[in-house]
Chain A
Amino acid sequence: AQRVTQPEKLLSVFKGAPVELKCNYSYSGSPELFWYVQYSRQRLQLLLRHISRESIKGFTADLNKGETSFHLKKPFAQEEDSAMYYCALLDNYGQNFVFGPGTRLSVLP
């Protein structure tokens, strides 16, 4: 079964500190993984996808097939990074997302 887990409901860090939001998945096949973000009072939006291997707003995520993980990292957190972060897996048919439960990141001044 396809499943995404995010073990932390809430993660609090101080401004300028490194941040890592954990994501693990179970999937039979070659996974395609994404991170979505929802800022306060805004819509859910795509942050990054593993295929593009890009850095968005200073965030990066590396797919580790051995550990079935896709952790989101940023070396120096900013207050504006405070938001809900959802890890998501694209299903076998490439038509639908399986979302994790989300982690609320709070960056303290």
Chain B
Amino acid sequence: GQQLNQSPQSMFIQEGEDVSMNCTSSSIFNTWLWYKQDPGEGPVLLIALYKAGELTSNGRLTAQFGITRKDSFLNISASIPSDVGIYFCAGPNTGNQFYFGTGTSLTVIP
């Protein structure tokens, strides 16, 4: 199935730094989803975006729905050790299929 391109693939940052990652697609989406996954656990939905240009925050997380509807961005401000994990973007089609990004692995160094 279709896969979304997510970058960077991995990040190693110092605690307190800000983080940016993005997700791009060759197709447009009407919804963009961002998930965080801890090892051995299921992905947890962080932010959902529904409208081109929309900027939505959830605590220290801010995500944007790209104007072209083919991309989305996630920022984490003032990172802390519990931000460690793999972040996935995703988008649904109208046929109950969700396409996932390749993932960004985040390591926060105390």
Same complex for A and B? Answer no
Which A residues are closer than 8 A to B by beta carbons?
none
List residues of B whose CB falls within 8 A of some A CB: none
